[in-house]
Structure 1
Amino acid sequence: MGAVSSETPHVVHVTDPADDRLADYNRLTDVALRSKHEPEKGLYIAESSTVIRRALAAGHRPRSFLMAERWLDDLADDIAALPVDDAPGGTGEPVPVYVGAPDVLEAITGFHLHRGALAAMHRPPLATVHDLLSAARGGTGARRVAVLEDIVDHTNVGAIFRSAAALGVDAVLVSPRCADPLYRRSVRVSMGTVFQVPWTRFETWPGGLDVLRGEGFVVAALALADDAVSLDDVVADPPERLALVLGTEGDGLSRGAIEAADRVVTIPMAGGVDSLNVAAASAVAFWATRVP
């Protein structure tokens, strides 16, 4: 167990929710504010010891921690192993561990911190699409990727990343208006698997699909259409490189995305059901098209 206690110099006891040092954690329940604030500030919030450990294991660097004192022991080894904020743009100082009473933590964050601990993490820079795809599969290049168009529900984004990690998707690419995969709820629902699956954001849309095609991918839009082919047909004759494009929860894929795709694909269904929630549809498609 690491030698971290309430007496360790970089453990800071806080009593004032308005303390400027805690600005990274203010109003965490304000989705609109946090969705704008976090990317601009180059940070994201990891919630729970499990998610924090997965972020650290992926090489992400902490700015600070915030927790109730009883959680110090649980994260002692992790905190002791990272005594200095040595990320690019970091302070170069010991990473502060802010500790407070439950009511103080709730006043800071806007919710009861029942998962024990939070960490404000430095947001890693995003790779270019080309670099992301080239680095996948140990440098041999991605063969199967997911593309998310304008999915605004953070829960669905997190669930898609969890399925992508479980079912061997090589990378996830998101449209410019898609919800942030590193938003707190996305990260939590993904159980930290968002740190395992390489991802980046397209600069243009739907023009980004042309970039994928230029990298040798067959672009398959999952949508209902008269000319759609069955997912079974794709599985029977799989392309060497496949990009599965998934759309918004309510409206599905935009006309522009469908027109930019090489083919439209539908999941065969029974019982008079014609569609699934986007997270469920992604899991079905990822499993069906998994690469040996």
Structure 2
Amino acid sequence: MRKLENSELERKSISDFKEATKTPIIIILDDIRSLHNIGSVFRTADAFLIEKVYLCGITATPPNKEIHKTALGATETVAWEYHENVLEVVENLKREDMAVFAIEQVENSIFLNDFKVENDKKYALVFGNEVFGVNQEAIKFCHGTIEIPQLGTKHSLNISVSAGIVVWDLFVKLDNLEY
């Protein structure tokens, strides 16, 4: 085995990325404190051709030096918008017939491994604050919640790790491996 050189990775140009068919997933970040988490989610969104990222509440926006450190330019490729109120974003996406799910540990959540996708639907995923999670009001507005099963003592994952796990799982379930 030989490690591939960057020139061998067949990376898309920014214009190719913007013109590419996107994965029907939208990420909503609500009240994310860590600029590194925000940048990391942008990088995940770029990796899986995510349609858009919404930044809500106290979540910082590009351009930002600290976000750029982990995003590595993904803020230039991935479409994003800032909205102060996450509830308005969720309501607007629901009106557009999008399936909106909070990623949170709640009563009657659906374990990620049991979550079934419909290939003709678009999905919006709400990720919340590093300490308090997804706001209870936002959870009420969502169609449901998805929970990542955890077996250890913490039952808590970093938001950027959670986003990577959930986005990858839905990406695979939506049959997007034909790149």
TM over 0.5: yes
Q: How does 1:262-273 map to 2 (within 5 A)?
A: 262-273=143-154
Report if aligned partners of 2:104, 2:134 keep a CA contact under 8 Å in 1: yes
Matched, 1:261 2:142: yes
Cα separation, 1, equivalents of 2:48 and 2:117: 19
One-letter amino acid matched to 1:237 = V
In structure 1, what is the equivalent of residue 70 of structure 2?
A: 189
Tell me the percent identity: 24
Cα separation, 2, equivalents of 1:242 and 1:289: 9
Q: How does 1:83-162 map to 2 (within 5 A)?
A: 138=19, 143-162=24-43
Q: Which has the higher contact order (CA 8 A, sep 6+)?
A: 2
In structure 1, what is the equivalent of residue 81 of structure 2?
A: 200
In structure 2, what is the equivalent of residue 133 of structure 1?
A: none
Shift of 1:163: 1.1
**Which structure 1 residue ranges, 5 or more long, are not aligned?**
1-56, 60-135
In structure 1, what is the equivalent of residue 55 of structure 2?
A: 174
Matched, 1:237 2:117: yes
Residue aligned with 2:101, SS: strand
Report if aligned partners of 2:44, 2:164 keep a CA contact under 8 Å in 1: yes
Cα separation, 2, equivalents of 1:142 and 1:286: 10
Segments ≥4 residues shifted beyond 6 Å:
139-142
Q: Deviations over 1:59-105 (max 9, x none)?
A: 8xxxxxxxxxxxxxxxxxxxxxxxxxxxxxxxxxxxxxxxxxxxxxx
Pick aligned residue for 1:279 from 155, 160, 163: 160
Report if aligned partners of 2:39, 2:68 keep a CA contact under 8 Å in 1: yes
Report if aligned partners of 1:154, 1:181 keep a CA contact under 8 Å in 2: no
In structure 2, what is the equivalent of residue 222 of structure 1?
A: 103
**Which structure 2 residue ranges, 5 or more long, are not aligned?**
1-12
Cα separation, 2, equivalents of 1:139 and 1:162: 16
One-letter amino acid matched to 1:145 = I
Cα separation, 2, equivalents of 1:139 and 1:190: 19
Shift of 1:174: 1.2
Residue aligned with 2:124, SS: strand
Count of residue pairs brought into register by the alignment: 159
Pick aligned residue for 2:132 from 240, 251, 268: 251
Report if aligned partners of 1:144, 1:171 keep a CA contact under 8 Å in 2: yes
Cα separation, 2, equivalents of 1:224 and 1:149: 16
Cα separation, 2, equivalents of 1:221 and 1:163: 18
Cα separation, 1, equivalents of 2:80 and 2:140: 24
RMSD: 2.3
Residue aligned with 2:50, SS: coil
Report if aligned partners of 1:157, 1:181 keep a CA contact under 8 Å in 2: no
Residue aligned with 1:148, SS: strand
Residue aligned with 2:165, SS: helix
Q: Tell me which structure has the larger Cα radius of gyration.
A: 1
Shift of 1:171: 1.0
Report if aligned partners of 2:41, 2:163 keep a CA contact under 8 Å in 1: yes
Cα separation, 2, equivalents of 1:260 and 1:279: 23
Shift of 1:140: 6.9
Cα separation, 2, equivalents of 1:214 and 1:184: 35
